A and B are shown apart, each in its own frame.
Chain A
């Protein structure tokens, strides 16, 4: 069964860059899309963006200027970079395997990111 493990810095100061990685175990990154989703404290889910091994990316227009997505098939990792963070970026960030019709069938455990001075 495919598993996703996430890691990255959990505490940032305003204006810093958020950097998170998800590693894919017992599976390939080449056959699916990979999405990032976040959830602010007590709030709902917000889609950040998606990437595929072909290099296709799509990003939420509200975050497009600050988001970079990368995928490495050789080491089976997907990464998210979000620049110039503010307190509004405080959230739990999830990585999820995404099928063709964009339903997300396998999720990482989530990484809590707090932005505070």
Chain B
């Protein structure tokens, strides 16, 4: 299976700062099959980005995704209070099962 490694584990930032989250795959992933989710405490995950760079419906444009191959990035341009959450990347490899990264927690500094 394809292992996704997210870094850092925790990101401590202030309101208005830029957040850069990394997702590295153990083997190449098609960009079409790479997604990012946000999960707030006690809630189900929410789709943010699919196809590595397409924003899901209703997602603010301060969220953006980029990358290809084995390295993908989620960027939050200016942190708002509701953005302090845990973020997961997810991939599908076709012949290999769906996997999620271990998550990055974005906390208030």
What is A's interface to B at a CB cutoff of 8 Å?
Answer: 35, 37, 44-47, 50, 58, 60-61, 94, 96, 99, 101-105, 107-110
CB distance from B43 to the nearest CB of A (A): 8
Distance between B68 CB and nearest chain A CB, rounded to angstroms: 15
Bound: A108/B46 CA distance, A: 10
Chain B's closest residue to A35 (CB) is: B98
* Bound-state Cα–Cα, A4 to B47, Å: 15
Residue numbers of B with Cβ under 8 A of A are 1, 32-33, 35, 37, 44-47, 50-51, 56-57, 88, 90, 92, 97-103
Q: Which residue of A lies closest to B46 (CB)?
A: A107
Residues of A within 8 A of B1 (CB): 61
What's the dominant secondary structure at chain A's contact region?
A: strand
B6 to A, closest residue via Cβ: A44
With most chain A CB atoms within 10 A of its CB, the pick from B32, B92, B98 is B98
Known: A44-B88, A45-B88. A103 touches B100 (CB 8 A): no
- Please name all residues of chain A whose beta carbon is closer than 8 Å to the beta carbon of B56 when the two chains form the complex: 103, 105
Contact check, A102 vs B44: say whether CB atoms are below 8 A apart.
no
> Are A101 and B45 in contact, with the CB atoms below 8 A?
no
**A109 pairs with B33, CB closer than 8 A:** no
